[in-house]
Structures are given as structure tokens and as C-alpha cells.
């Protein structure tokens, strides 16, 4: 417990050298669309979107310790709000995005108020039920086009969507850095994750803090959902509200390392690249699910801090690994 | 319609009891419950295809196979929920979630999206009781469900081991202090649960179509039943399964078939918000 808290506080003083890798990453991200082929621009846009989604899940799932299995609902709400505003009302894309984010946050506040009282497994199941409920409602309603989906006006400019996605995902990471890693707000969230009663004892207003975190973590999926809708131009309850959306957010955040700034980014890059590379070489397949499922099990069992934690820790010697396995199976 | 719902309820009870017991004893929410059903159904399908005979005679064998699989997986789950983790429940949840992705992906890769079905000597026959005519297979599934439930109840309430299991479900730490080997009991419960769920998977496979993505549906039903019953409270599962059958038939007849799932999730969400301990307020 103390270890986690001190780790979060012990961010070393920023120096020029510390920001070199970050600057390099930024430069690569900025010039990528002028070097890569359209296929790779698409893949990079996808990676960015997932990085943003995984990070926004991480705000509530990783930092606050409330496992939300219904986060896909906010993404779906965002894409439908943007889609409907552009199609039915004829409003510009940007305003649609803003509304998507705000409405997603509002929804998070409304459902968060009763749901955040639940803890652990109960919260996970309740949010899962909520997410599925939203999907079923979108399938039934007429305004969303029901099971036939919704067609948006098409605007085919890959670089435009790449940069919009980059901007929003960048904003997600900046918000996480400044609000969660660098401010008291983040410490309060960590306190809630580690011991909620104790946090309340020392004066953290847990109810409002949890609500704020939930609303914040719902804002970005809403906006990203709006961009996604305009990017792919056709949305359907299964594609923007499906269970795989939430699944992937959870998987990426866990694989990369929950409760860390760069974990979800790493997880999103790894998962999305594995999926796309398998797809490029062997065609449309489902084998990536096997790899991802096995990876998530292995992460939970052996490196609970995720890939980012693996980088910081030393590797086990073969002998230690065998003894660990032996302990697990009681050989 | 009403009778139909109740008859399928028998199988859901079996799945729900194992699931609920699992949560009570180990505090694990098994997201892979639907995948056990799916794997059971496929195992039954493969056995019938390669060895012939009727799927009913394979039930005990499938039970044993899945018990074995559960027994082998359990140490991993135990590792996930114990040790120096600061959030064991969440780790267990994510681990079984990973298992379910693994099983679903494996099944999709091996068998693809084709839809299969198992036929038995009961398929197509029906039994008439009074004015009602019931398909024999549904009736068999119902009888199976009731039988397994009764056996489970006898095991839980009349044997010494069952008493230990119930004690562990009530209070893990105290049971541990009084000399119950919680780890071993957890392993036993998990393997029993896997075996029973796999076995009901075969029957579900004979009733409905088998495909690799079928797990989600049974996952929903099992979660619904267990949430309504109160997580970890075993007898409540029977009542909750009855409610499920009634709700499905009612919504299907009076409101429309496409609203059934919305109603299920709404009720589940509502129950969790209003009485997280289930409609009987007996869960943990």
C-alpha cells in the first residue's frame, strides 16, 4: 500500500533528457501520415483511438480501482450523438463531438450516482448489465436506425482523422498526467483504490471524487466515439456498442499496466499491432483472441503491474520461475 | 410459452448453483461461465460425432472431463486471487475474463462460425401431460436439472463436506481458522462447478444450436439468476430461475420478443442498485 503511494509521489524532477523519448514519440506521431501508406495511416489512427479509450478506462478502472465493464456504452453514445446531430440536425462535426463528450459525462454522472455505491464484483456486474442494456436499447429504437445502423455523410480524408484522433488522444494523456499524476485529485483516487474507508476517514469526499473520476473517464470515449463514427461513416449497435469494445479497453489497460500513465498506451499498441499483423499475414481470423486471452491471464498471474511494470522490474531467473510455478500448482 | 420458460429454467438452475457456490466460497465471479457451457456442448458434439451412440450416455464422462479441467485451472485462479495483490477480487475477475476470451477465441479459431447441433433419441418426440404437449427433450433437460439440483442440495446439506463448504461460503476466514482447508475446498467447488456446467452444456447443445459465440447468452442468464438470487446464496437460485422464466415469457407475450433482453438487463441493473444482496436479501 505504502509502496504504491510513494511510487506515485516519487516522480523525479523533469529534465531535458527525461523528455527526449516523449518528444521523439510526438515527432513520429506528427510526421507519420506523410510517410506511411494509407493502410498504415488507418492502423495508426486505430491504435491512437484505442490508446485513448484504454487510458480513459484506466482513469476509473486503474486509478480508482472500480472495474467498469460498461465503458463501451459511452463510446456508443458518443458515436450515435455525433451521427444523429450531423444527419438529422445538420450540425457541424466539432459541435457534435463536444456534445458527445458532454452527454457521455452527463450519463456517467446519472448512472454513477447510484452505481458507484457498489464495490468490486458488484460494480463490475452492474456496469456490465448497464452497457448491455444500452446496446439492446440502441438496437430497438427507431431514431438510431435500430439493427440497420446509421449512415453518416462521408468525408474521406485519412490524415484529417488521424490528426483529430491524435489531438483527442493527446488530450486524454495530458489530462491524465496533469489531473491524476500531478495533482491532489489523483492522490485522492489512489487513496480510494487502496482503502476507501481510510480515505473517507482522512477527509476525502469519496462520493464526489468517484463521480468526478467517472464523468472524466466517460468524456473521452464519448468524443472518440464521435470521431470514429465520422471516420468509418457507418455505425451499427454491434460495431460501436458491442461487448468487444469494453473487452478491449480492459484488456489493453491490464496488459500495459493499470494505474500508470503509459501502460494503456503500450497495451493498445501491442494488442492492436498483434491483431493487425496477424490480419495482414493470415487474413481475417480470430486467433488473435487466443493470444490476447492467454496474455491477459499471464499478466494477472505473473506481472500484475503489466508490461510497463515488467520494464521496471528485473526478470526472474529460470530457477525462480520454476519454483514459482511449483508453488502455484503445489508439485 | 410459460411452461417452456420453466423447463429451460431447470438447466439454468444447475449453471446458477455452481456459479453462486463459486462466488460464495472463493469470491470469484466467473466471467467464463458461458464458455464452460459452450465447451461442454462442443465436447458432447465431438464425442457423438466420433464415437456415435447417444449424447446422454456421455454425460458422466463429460462431467469427469470438466471436473479434471476445473481442477487443473483452479491453482491458477487461486494464485490470481491470493498473494501480494492489493485487489484480489478484481484480479480474479480479470483472470476469468481472460479465460473466457481465450476459450471463445480458441473455439472460433477451431470451429469457426458454423452452427452445429446434437441429435438424440429424444429429439422430435414429445410427451403429453393432460392438455399440454411438451417436447421430450425439454422435459429431459428439466428432469436433469431437478435431479442435479437435488443431488447438489443433498451434498451441501447432508454431508460433512457440504457443511464445510457452506461454512466457508458464509465466512471464509473463520472457516479457515477452524481448520477448513480453504484452498482445497475452493478447488473442489471449482471442479464440481466446471463439471456440472459442462454437463448442462451438452443438454443445452441438444436443445439449441451450438456455435462458438453462444457463451454470451448463457453468461447473461447465469448472471441474471445469480444476481437476483443474491450472490452466493444457493437456494435463491431456484426462485430466481423461476422469475427468469416468468419474466421472459411475460415480456415475450405482452411487450414483444425483442424487448426480452432489455428487460433482463434492466431488472438485473435495478436489482443490483436497489438490493445488491438479491431479492431475498440473503446474498453476501
ipTM of the shown complex: 0.88
All three cell numbers of B132 = 399440454
Instruction: Out of A92-106, B108-122, B151-165, give the one with best mean pLDDT.
Output: A92-106
Q: How many CB atoms lie within 10 A of CB A145?
A: 20
The residue whose grid cell reads 457521455 is: A104
Question: Does the pLDDT at position B131 exceed 90?
Answer: no
Distance from CA of A42 to the nearest CA of B (A): 25
Q: How confident is the model at residue A3 (pLDDT cuts 50, 70, 90)?
A: very low
Chain A nearest-CA residue for B101:
A293
All three cell numbers of B64 = 469427469
Q: In sequence order, what are the beta bridge partners of B126? A: B135
Give the ranges where B56-87 is alpha helix by DSSP (H).
Answer: 59-81
Give the ranges where chain A is alpha helix by DSSP (H).
Answer: 2-9, 20-35, 38-58, 72-84, 93-115, 120-140, 158-175, 184-194, 196-201, 206-232, 237-241, 243-256, 263-282, 287-302, 306-312, 318-329
**Residues B11-21 as b or e (16 or more Cβ within 10 Å = b):** bbbbbbbbbbb
B270 vs A: CB within 8 A: no
pLDDT of residue A1: 42
CA–CA separation, A204 and A194 (whole Å) = 13
Indicate if the alpha-carbon torsion angle A192, A194, A200, A203 is positive or negative.
negative
Q: In sequence order, what are the beta bridge partners of A234? A: A151
Q: Domain residue spans in chain B?
A: 32-225
CA–CA separation, B217 and B193 (whole Å) = 18
Contact A121 B89 (CB under 8 A): yes
CA–CA separation, A6 and B205 (whole Å) = 53
Which residues are CB-neighbours of A180 under 8 A, at least 6 positions away? A59, A63, A186, A189, A261
CA A268 remoteness from chain centre: 8
**Helix (H), strand (E) at residue B272:** helix B260-274
pTM here is 0.87
pLDDT tens per residue, range A169-223: 999 999 999 988 888 898 999 888 888 888 889 888 889 999 999 999 999 999 9
| Contact list, A126 vs chain B (CB under 8 Å) | 269, 272-273
Q: How confident is the model at residue A111 (pLDDT cuts 50, 70, 90)?
A: very high
Q: How many CB atoms lie within 10 A of CB B151?
A: 11
Nearest CB to B108: which of A115, A254, A289? A289
Nearest CB to B99: which of A291, A297, A328? A297
> What is the average pLDDT score of chain B?
83
**Helix (H), strand (E) at residue B107:** helix B88-111
pLDDT of residue B194: 92
Question: Does the pLDDT at position A6 exceed 50?
Answer: no
Question: Does the pLDDT at position A9 exceed 60?
Answer: no
All three cell numbers of B23 = 462466488
All three cell numbers of B15 = 449453471
Nearest CB to A122: which of B80, B101, B276? B276
pLDDT of residue A309: 77
Strand A234-235 and strand B126-129: the pairing is: unpaired
Contact A67 B76 (CB under 8 A): no
3-class DSSP state of B134: strand
CA–CA separation, A306 and A312 (whole Å) = 10
| Contact list, B104 vs chain A (CB under 8 Å) | 289, 293
CA–CA separation, B92 and B99 (whole Å) = 11
| Contact list, A271 vs chain B (CB under 8 Å) | none
| Contact list, A65 vs chain B (CB under 8 Å) | 87, 90
Question: Best residue in A199, A242, A286, A294 to probe B by mutation, most B CBs within 10 Å?
Answer: A286
CA–CA separation, B101 and B40 (whole Å) = 16
Q: How many CB pairs under 8 A join A and B?
A: 131
Contact B94 A300 (CB under 8 A): yes
Cβ–Cβ < 8 Å for A308, A263: yes
- The separation between the first and the last C-alpha atoms of chain A, rounded to the nearest angstrom, is 31
Read off the DSSP letter of residue B115: -
Cβ–Cβ < 8 Å for A54, A208: no
Question: Does the pLDDT at position A4 exceed 60?
Answer: no
Please tell me the number of Cα atoms within 13 Å of B111 on its side-chain side.
21
Which residues are CB-neighbours of A191 under 8 A, at least 6 positions away? A5, A198, A199, A202, A204
CA–CA separation, B31 and A250 (whole Å) = 13
Which residues are CB-neighbours of B254 under 8 A, at least 6 positions away? none
Residues B101-117: what's their mean pLDDT? 84
Q: Kindly report the CA angle at A241 between A122 and B237, in degrees rounded to 5?
A: 35
pLDDT tens per residue, range B237-249: 888 888 888 888 8
Read off the DSSP letter of residue A165: H
CA–CA separation, B22 and A66 (whole Å) = 22
Amino acid at each position: 500500500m505504502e509502496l504504491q503511494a510513494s511510487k506515485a509521489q516519487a516522480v523525479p524532477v523533469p529534465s531535458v533528457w527525461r523528455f527526449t523519448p516523449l518528444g521523439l514519440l510526438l515527432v513520429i506521431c506528427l510526421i507519420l501520415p506523410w510517410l506511411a501508406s494509407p493502410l498504415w495511416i488507418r492502423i495508426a489512427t486505430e491504435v491512437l483511438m484505442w490508446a485513448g479509450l484504454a487510458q480513459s478506462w484506466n482513469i476509473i478502472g486503474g486509478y480508482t480501482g472500480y472495474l467498469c465493464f460498461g465503458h463501451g456504452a459511452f463510446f456508443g453514445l458518443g458515436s450515435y450523438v455525433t451521427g444523429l446531430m450531423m444527419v438529422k440536425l445538420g450540425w457541424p462535426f466539432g459541435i457534435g463531438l463536444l456534445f458527445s463528450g458532454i452527454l457521455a459525462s452527463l450519463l456517467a454522472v446519472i448512472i454513477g450516482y447510484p452505481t458507484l455505491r457498489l464495490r468490486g464484483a458488484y460494480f463490475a456486474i452492474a456496469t456490465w448489465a448497464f452497457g448491455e442494456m444500452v446496446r439492446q436499447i440502441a438496437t430497438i429504437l427507431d431514431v438510431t436506425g435500430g439493427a440497420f445502423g446509421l449512415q453518416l455523410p462521408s468525408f474521406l480524408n485519412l490524415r484529417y482523422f488521424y490528426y483529430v484522433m491524435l489531438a483527442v488522444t493527446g488530450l486524454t494523456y495530458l489530462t491524465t498526467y496533469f489531473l491524476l499524476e500531478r495533482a491532489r485529485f489523483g492522490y485522492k483516487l489512489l487513496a480510494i483504490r487502496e482503502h476507501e474507508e481510510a480515505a473517507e476517514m482522512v477527509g476525502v469526499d469519496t462520493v464526489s471524487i468517484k463521480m468526478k473520476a467517472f464523468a472524466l473517464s466517460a468524456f473521452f470515449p464519448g468524443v472518440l466515439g464521435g470521431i470514429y463514427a465520422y471516420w468509418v461513416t457507418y455505425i451499427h449497435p454491434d460495431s460501436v456498442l458491442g461487448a468487444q469494445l469494453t473487452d478491449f479497453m480492459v484488456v489493453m489497460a491490464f496488459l500495459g499496466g493499470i494505474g500508470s500513465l503509459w501502460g494503456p498506451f503500450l497495451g493498445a499498441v501491442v494488442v492492436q499491432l498483434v491483431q493487425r499483423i496477424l490480419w495482414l499475414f493470415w487474413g481475417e481470423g480470430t486467433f488473435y483472441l487466443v493470444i490476447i486471452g492467454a496474455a491477459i491471464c499471464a499478466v494477472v498471474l505473473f506481472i500484475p503491474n503489466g508490461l510497463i511494470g515488467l520494464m521496471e522490474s528485473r526478470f526472474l531467473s529460470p530457477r525462480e520461475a520454476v519454483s514459482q510455478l511449483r508453488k502455484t500448482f503445489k508439485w | 410459452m410459460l411452461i417452456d420458460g420453466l423447463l429451460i429454467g431447470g438447466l439454468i438452475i444447475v449453471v446458477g448453483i455452481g456459479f453462486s457456490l463459486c462466488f460464495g466460497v472463493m469470491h470469484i465471479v466467473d466471467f467464463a461461465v458461458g464458455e464452460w457451457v459452450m465447451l461442454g456442448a462442443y465436447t458432447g458434439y465431438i464425442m457423438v460425432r466420433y464415437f456415435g451412440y447417444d449424447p446422454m450416455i456421455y454425460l458422466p464422462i463429460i462431467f469427469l472431463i470438466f471436473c479434471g479441467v476445473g481442477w487443473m485451472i483452479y491453482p491458477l485462479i487461486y494464485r490470481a486471487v491470493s498473494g501480494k495483490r492489493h485487489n484480489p477480487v478484481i484480479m480474479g475477475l480479470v483472470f476469468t475474463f481472460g479465460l473466457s476470451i481465450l476459450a471463445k477465441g480458441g473455439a472460433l479459431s477451431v470451429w469457426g462460425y458454423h452452427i452445429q447441433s446434437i441429435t438424440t433419441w429424444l429429439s422430435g418426440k414429445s410427451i403429453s401431460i393432460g392438455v399440454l404437449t411438451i417436447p421430450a427433450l425439454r422435459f429431459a433437460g428439466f428432469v436433469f436439472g431437478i435431479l442435479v439440483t437435488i443431488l447438489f442440495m443433498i451434498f451441501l446439506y447432508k454431508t460433512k463436506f457440504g457443511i464445510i463448504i457452506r461454512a466457508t461460503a458464509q465466512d471464509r476466514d473463520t472457516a479457515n481458522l477452524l481448520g477448513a482447508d480453504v484452498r482445497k475446498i475452493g478447488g473442489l467447488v471449482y471442479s464440481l462447478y466446471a463439471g456440472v456446467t459442462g454437463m448442462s452444456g451438452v443438454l443445452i447443445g441438444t436443445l439449441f444450436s451450438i456455435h462458438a459465440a453462444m457463451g454470451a447468452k448463457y453468461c447473461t442468464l447465469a448472471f441474471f439468476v445469480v444476481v437476483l438470487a443474491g450472490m452466493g446464496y444457493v437456494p435463491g437460485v431456484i426462485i430466481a430461475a423461476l422469475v427468469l422464466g416468468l419474466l421472459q415469457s411475460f415480456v415475450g407475450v405482452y411487450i414483444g420478443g425483442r424487448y426480452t433482453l432489455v428487460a433482463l438487463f434492466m431488472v438485473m441493473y435495478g436489482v443490483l442498485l436497489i438490493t445488491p444482496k438479491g431479492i431475498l436479501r440473503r446474498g453476501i
